Chain A
Amino acid sequence: MSIAIGGFIGQGDPLTLIDYLKTMDVGDLTVYENDAGYRDRGTVELVNQGKVKKIVASHVGTTPDIAKAMNEGRLEVEATPQGTLAEMLRCGGAGLGGFLTPTGIGTIAEEGKQIVELNGRPFILVPAARCDIALVRAHRGDTWGNLIFRGTSRNFNVPAAMCADYVIAEVENLYTMGELDPEAIHTSGIFVDAVVRANVSYCTVRDEPLEAAARSK
C-alpha cells in the first residue's frame, strides 16, 4: 500500500494520524514524503515499528534512526529531488501521467529514467505518483474537507492532499461548512475524504483558547 504524507521535518507533519497508524496492524508500506519526520517523531516511528518497506523522500537526514534502518537492510530509501517529488504528487492528483523536468540531468537522478529532448534541451521523464492513501495536516478545516494551512506548514500537505484515492486531513481547528471564507481555502474539499481533529498538544495555534472552548460546552 502506498501512502503520501504531508509536512516538512516537523512543520505541518500529521502527527495525530501517524500516531493512529502506529496502533494499526499494517505493513509493507511505501511512503511518499519529503522526509521521515524530525528527530524521533513522525514517519521514522513507523519505520522503527517495521511497517515501512520503502520511503520516497528528498532528505532523511533529520531522523537518525532512518540511517540505521537502511544499514540494517530494513528500509529502502529512494532519494528524489524535492521539486521532483512535489510535482510527482501534484501530477498524480491532477490526472497527468508524468512530467518533464530539467532537474537531475547529468546526475544519478536520471538513472533508469527516460530522457526526452524538447526544444533542444534534455529533460527527465518522471512518472506521476498516485497513492492509495494520503495523510495531511491543516490549520483549519471544515466538515466537507476544505483546508486552510498556516505559514510554512503548507509545504507538501497541498500536493499530498491531491494525490491519493483516500485523503485524510487532521485539522487544528474544525468548522462546519460555510464558516470558512471561500476566498481563503488552500485545498478544496473535493480532494479530501475525511477530516479529524488534530491532537490538541500538536496544535500550533488554536483559534479559540482551550479553556474558553471548554467553558462554552
Chain B
Amino acid sequence: MGNAKQTIARRAAQELRDGQIINLGIGLPTMIANYVPAGIDVVIQTENGGIGVGPAPAPGCEDRDRANAGNQPITLVAGGSYFDSATSFAMIRGGHVDSTFLGTLQVDEEGNIANWIVPGGLLAGMGGAMDLVTGAKIVHIVTEHCARDGSSKLMQRCTFPLTGANEADVIITERAVLRRFAHRGWVLEEVAAGYSLADIAACTELAYTVADDVKLDAFGADEAAAEKAARSVLGL
C-alpha cells in the first residue's frame, strides 16, 4: 500500500500541539514535519545536536555541518541552536522533549517497543532510540499495522529484543489509532477509511478495548481515494 506512510505521517501530525518540543525518528517519522497543521508551531530537536530544525535547504545550499541524525541536510529556524551529544541527551533523558515519534518492528500490550534489532539479523544498533523512549514525555509509535509477511506488528508480547519497556503511549498506523491508559490499557480511538472494527480486530494481536466514541472513517480518506483512483487508472 504505497500511500500508507503518507496516511500515517498525516494522521501523526494531528497529534502535535502548539509549542511542543518534538524529536522525529529517521524515515517515516521525519515525514511528519511535512504535515504540521496550520496554526501549530512545534520545535524539532535532532539528537545529533540541533534544535529548531526547519525546512530542507534549497538545492545547492546544503552544508555538511548542518544535517539531521539521518544525515539529511537541514536548516535551523530563528531561535534554533546547536549543541554537543552529551547536552543533546541531557535534553532527551532529562524530560525536556515533549514527544517523540518512532517507527517500530513490534509493539505490545504492555507498551513494550522493539525497534532496533531482529534476532539473527544484522546488527545496526539502537542509536538514540532507547534514550528517546525513556526520556520523551509522550512516545508515539508510527508504523504500518502489519509486517511485510502480513503478521501484526501490534503484538501480545514482543519477541524481539526491546528498545524500551512499558514506554509506548500512542500507536498510529494506516488503519487505526490506539492510545494506552494506565488502567484501561490500549484503547482503539480511531479507524481509518476503508477499514471496519472487525478488520482492526483481525489484524491486531494486542488486547484493546474500543472507545465509546470511537471514530470510524476518521482519517486516510484522501489516500484511500488516491489509491482507488490510481488502481482504476491501472485497470486493477
B-contacting residues of A (Cβ < 8 Å)? 8-12, 34-35, 38, 57-62, 67, 70, 77, 79, 81-84, 86-87, 89-90, 101-109, 139, 149-159, 186, 204-205
Of B112, B127, B165, the contact of A82 (CB 8 Å cutoff): B127
A11 with B86, Cβ < 8 A, contacts A59-B127, A106-B164, A107-B162 known: no
Q: Which residues of B contact A109 (CB under 8 A)?
A: 126, 130
Q: Which residues of B contact A152 (CB under 8 A)?
A: 46, 48-50, 65-68, 74, 82
A-contacting residues of B (Cβ < 8 Å)? 46-50, 63-69, 71, 74, 82-89, 92-93, 112, 117, 122-131, 134-135, 161-166
Q: A82-B47, A156-B85 are in contact. List 7 more A-B contacts (CB 8 A).
A: A59-B126, A60-B125, A84-B130, A101-B93, A102-B135, A108-B162, A158-B84
Q: How far is the CA of A150 from the CA of B87 in the complex (A)?
A: 15
25 CB-based A-B contacts, threshold 8 Å: A58-B126, A58-B127, A59-B124, A60-B123, A61-B122, A62-B71, A81-B129, A83-B89, A84-B130, A86-B84, A86-B85, A86-B86, A102-B134, A103-B93, A105-B165, A106-B166, A107-B163, A151-B50, A151-B65, A152-B48, A152-B66, A153-B64, A154-B82, A155-B85, A159-B85
Q: How far is the CA of A90 from the CA of B47 in the complex (A)?
A: 16
Q: Which residues of B contact A155 (CB under 8 A)?
A: 48-49, 84-85, 88
> B125, B128, B130, B166: which has the most chain A beta carbons within 10 Å?
B125
Q: Smallest distance from the beta carbon of A70 to chain B beta carbons, Å? A: 7
Of A38, A82, A151, A205, the contact of B131 (CB 8 Å cutoff): A82
Q: Which residues of B contact A38 (CB under 8 A)?
A: 71
Q: Smallest distance from the beta carbon of A187 to chain B beta carbons, Å? A: 9
A102 with B93, Cβ < 8 A, contacts A38-B71, A58-B126, A186-B84 known: yes
Q: Which residues of B contact A67 (CB under 8 A)?
A: 122-123
Q: Smallest distance from the beta carbon of B46 to chain A beta carbons, Å? A: 7
Chain A residue at minimal CB-CB distance from B161: A108
Q: How far is the CA of A62 from the CA of B49 in the complex (A)?
A: 18
Q: Smallest distance from the beta carbon of B113 to chain A beta carbons, Å? A: 9
Chain B residue at minimal CB-CB distance from A153: B65
- B130/A12 in contact, CB under 8 A: no
Q: Smallest distance from the beta carbon of B130 to chain A beta carbons, Å? A: 4
A150 with B165, Cβ < 8 A, contacts A77-B123, A103-B131 known: no
> A81, A109, A149, A150: which has the most chain B beta carbons within 10 Å?
A81
Q: How far is the CA of A83 from the CA of B48 in the complex (A)?
A: 10
Q: Which residues of A contact B92 (CB under 8 A)?
A: 83
A61 with B124, Cβ < 8 A, contacts A106-B164, A107-B163 known: yes
- B130/A104 in contact, CB under 8 A: yes
Q: How far is the CA of A8 from the CA of B70 in the complex (A)?
A: 10
Chain B residue at minimal CB-CB distance from A90: B86
Q: How far is the CA of A123 from the CA of B202 in the complex (A)?
A: 39
- A81/B130 in contact, CB under 8 A: yes
